[in-house]
Amino acid sequence: MALVQWLDRNIEKLVIFICYSSMAGIVFVEVIRRFVFSQQAAWSTTIPIYLFLWITWVGASYNVRIRTHLKFDEIRVRLPYNIQFLLQVLDAVLWIVFGIIVVIYSTEQVHLARENFMIVQGTDNVLQWWFYVATPLAWVLLIIRVLQNLLEDIKLFIKGKPLPIQNAMTNISE
């Protein structure tokens, strides 16, 4: 149970850290190899790009989790409490619908890459779908984060407590 709670709090940060460290390590080593030894791995320019897929989509999930994703809270904080809650619910519904669309179509892309044995450029046996699977997995995680936030919002609304809406203009939580 403690492991599950730790993963719930840290999975995005862990994946981002591993991918970013790997990217930075590959780029650093290959720049040294290129300029000092006049050598470079053929895959050293493609693998970091594919790792960026993981960083991007898992980072989006993390930002949904901490509620720093794109939204229009400057207007929302000035609305009545009931409308604020309805807009939070609408946000969740839109995120979930969009997420389902992304998961469906990106899963098709992963399947296509897997069935055609698409290889990462510059390698002999690194499959592209290993990187493409980041999109549907991260969006499933993002949908989970949306549902977690929605559950929190419902609990706050039932108790009549303030909703977690950020006013970026004044940088205060309303």
Q: Which long-range contacts (CB under 8 A, 24 or more apart) does 39-46 make?
A: 41/122, 42/121, 42/122, 42/123, 43/120, 43/121, 43/122, 43/123, 43/126, 44/122, 45/122, 46/120, 46/121, 46/122, 46/123
Given its phi and psi angles, is residue 120 left (phi above 0), alpha (psi -120 to 50 degrees) or beta? beta
Mean pLDDT of the 56-70 span: 91
Q: Give the torsion through C-alpha atoms of 162, 168, 169, 174, to 10 deg.
A: 10
How would residue 28 be classed by pLDDT, with cut points 50, 70 and 90?
A: very high
173 forms bridges with which residues in the sheet?
166
State the average pLDDT for the chain: 92
How far CA 149 is from CA of 64, 67, 165, in Å, comes to 8, 8, 12
Cβ distance 44 to 122 under 8 Å?
A: yes
Give the three-state DSSP class for 54. Answer: helix
pLDDT of res. 172: 46
Percent pLDDT > 90 in the chain is: 85
Residue in the structure block whose two tokens are 């609408």:
90
Its pTM stands at 0.88
Is 106's pLDDT higher than 90? Answer: yes
Across the strands, what pairs with 167?
Answer: 172
